[in-house]
């Protein structure tokens, strides 16, 4: 009856990360951490899961002597988010 929701996106923190990234070109780890209120360790694990699924790209570099981690949503991630939202809409439709 109901189409299954993408379990990778159905996690609160991963959904928050994807929601942030779909609205910007890229975001750094510190910004994502501040916006989501996640701990660094938990956020790192969730970013790895999204990256392994090819939903986001992660670039690690140095700015001066400071490490910087940048995240970008991929076309696959954008499509997954769009499908997730459309599926959620079918859950919310009520028969009248």
Backbone angles phi, psi at 23, to 5 degrees: -100, -5
Q: Which string of DSSP letters, residue by residue, matches 31-76?
A: HHHHHHT--HHHHHHHHHHHHHTTSEEEEEEEETTEEEEEEEE-HH
Residue 56 sits at the vertex; the CA angle it makes with 53 and 62, to the nearest 5 degrees, is 125
pLDDT in tens, 9-34: 999 999 999 999 999 999 999 999 99
**Which CATH architecture is the domain 12-85 placed in?**
Orthogonal Bundle (1.10)
State the residue for tokens 């990778």: 8
Domain range annotation of the chain: 12-85
Average pLDDT value for residue range 46-55: 98
Q: What is the pTM of this model?
A: 0.90
Beta pairing partners, 22: none
């Amino acid at each position: 009856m109901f189409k299954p929701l993408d379990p990778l996106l159905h996690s609160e923190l991963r959904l928050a990360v994807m929601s942030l990234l779909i609205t910007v070109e890229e975001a750094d780890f510190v910004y994502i951490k501040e916006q989501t209120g996640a701990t660094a360790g938990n956020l790192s694990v969730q970013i790895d899961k999204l990256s392994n699924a090819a939903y986001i790209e992660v670039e690690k570099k140095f700015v001066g002597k400071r490490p910087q981690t940048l995240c970008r949503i991929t076309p696959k991630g954008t499509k997954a988010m769009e499908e997730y939202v459309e599926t959620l809409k079918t859950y919310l439709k009520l028969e009248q």
